[in-house]
Copies of this chain bind each other. A is one copy, B any other.
Amino acid sequence: MGLIDNINKLFDHRIRLGIMSILMVNDDVDFNRLKELLDVTDGNLASHTKTLENAEYIKVEKAFIGKKPNTKYFITPLGKQAFKKHIDALEDLIRNPK
């Protein structure tokens, strides 16, 4: 059993880490707000939200506000659980690496 076994590969990327951190403390966050908070491009954000959606760590909800399309993201119970485990593993690794 290696020291990094509980570190989730899906959260290795800082953009995915950012998305998860934000969704942990907000009921939902829309695409533009995420983009702004993380300071990333549309394409970049879309690709990372897709990866997290495929893992069922986050869910997307598409709606219209007036005539404007609005895409909101929220974290799933599975995502919350996986992220907590990841953070615990990170803390363990950093505090007691050996």
Q: Which residues of A are in contact with B by a Cβ distance under 8 Å?
A: 1-5, 7, 9, 12-15, 17-18, 21-22, 24-26, 37-40, 87, 90, 93-94, 97-98
Contact = CB atoms under 8 A, between A and B. Distances in A.
Contacts of A15: 4
Contacts of A98: 22, 25-26, 37
Given A90-B90, A94-B87, A98-B37, A14 B7 contact: yes
Contact of A93 (B3, B17, B39, B97): B17
A90 B93 CA distance: 13
Please give the count of copies of this chain that the complex contains: 2
A12 to B, nearest CB: 5
A7 B20 CA distance: 14
10 contacts: A2-B18, A2-B39, A3-B21, A3-B38, A7-B14, A9-B14, A12-B12, A24-B97, A25-B97, A37-B98
